[in-house]
Structure 1
Amino acid sequence: MVKLEQPLVAFFLVPKSEVIYENENSTMRQALERMEYHRYTAIPILDDSGHYVSTITEGDLLWKIKNDQLSFQDTNNIKLREVPKNMMNKTVSINASIEELVLLAARQNFVPVIDDQQYFIGIVKRGDIINYCYNKLFKV
């Protein structure tokens, strides 16, 4: 078994200032347009205080449009907090271990990172974790 060094979450962190996210009071249309522009399939949702609330995915938005028979214009009137979420990305503390990151990244595109007061401070991308592990395992 290969033993990996234990880097801190901060080693992988994409800070909040560089993350595309939306507020839970934003509309579906705002999220759709932002996701399309940045070519993302999922983004974090925060509350007014800056706490991580959930993750919204393209699928969540499409299912809401289908199930409620919404037009694109209708998406201007529906807040993200009203959209059912298919999954909740689990968060990690800034002090989390690499094992925690790997386990979560196996099921999530990104891992939201929170500080000691539960404020959202950024994300760790699945690809960054995979690249780190690959380099440690195969580029000896």
Structure 2
Amino acid sequence: MNIIKIMIPKISTVFLHENDTVRQGLERFRAHGYTAIPVLNEEEQYVGNVTEGDFLRHILAVGNTDLKFQERYRIGDIMRKECYLALSIDADEKQVIAVALNQNYVPIVDGRGALCGIITRQSLIHYFENQRNA
């Protein structure tokens, strides 16, 4: 399996930085409709993900849904530290399948831990369908 062929490259991936505001995160979720988004640090390294549930827990904890109010909080403050397992760009097929069974997407990182892109379950299924028909 060539991960690069089935990976959605970072440039085409929606992600947030841990220093982005909760308002920015909420707006990105609303615009794209995803349930989980990768979170990067200042060095573009993958540090985890933020989910709809993280936003809901945060809003319930602070008791305020006003977007302007949410500019006080950072994504890094609301994301849970247990995150989607990331795989190396040279991971094998068995590793990708094992991780994809338990996550909406698989973050793919380089040797520095920087996000290269993601593999969605859909892209993985398309890959195997194409292999079967080849």
Q: Secondary structure at the match of 1:131?
A: helix
Q: Which residue of 2 aligns with 1:14?
A: 8
Q: Secondary structure at the match of 1:75?
A: helix
Residue 74 (structure 1) aligned to one of 62, 69, 72:
69
The C-alpha deviation readout for 1:10-46, integer Å capped at 9, x for no partner, is 1211111111111100011101101110111111100
Larger CA deviation: 40-49 vs 63-72: 63-72
When the two chains are superposed, the root-mean-square deviation of aligned CA atoms in Å is 1.7
Say whether 1:118 aligns with 2:113.
Answer: yes
Residue 42 (structure 2) aligned to one of 48, 51, 54:
48
- Quote how far apart the aligned CAs of 1:71 are: 2.8
Q: Secondary structure at the match of 2:90?
A: coil
- State whether residues 106 and 120 of structure 2, in contact with CA within 8 Å, keep that contact through their aligned partners in structure 1: yes
- Quote how far apart the aligned CAs of 1:134 are: 4.5
Q: Which ranges of 4 or more aligned residues in structure 1 deviate by more than 2 Å?
A: 70-74, 130-137
The C-alpha deviation readout for 1:63-95, integer Å capped at 9, x for no partner, is 111123233232111001111427410001110
**Which blocks of at least 5 consecutive residues in structure 1 are unaligned?**
1-6
Q: Secondary structure at the match of 2:47?
A: strand
Percent sequence identity over aligned pairs: 30
Residue 128 (structure 1) aligned to one of 93, 99, 123:
123
Letter of the 1:43 partner, please give it. Answer: I
Q: Secondary structure at the match of 1:67?
A: helix
Residue 103 (structure 1) aligned to one of 81, 98, 110:
98
CA–CA distance in structure 2, aligned partners of residues 86 and 48 of structure 1: 17
CA spacing shift, 1:51–1:17, aligned 2, 3 Å: same
Q: Which residue of 1 aligns with 2:32?
A: 38
Residue 53 (structure 2) aligned to one of 45, 59, 62:
59
Q: Secondary structure at the match of 1:81?
A: helix
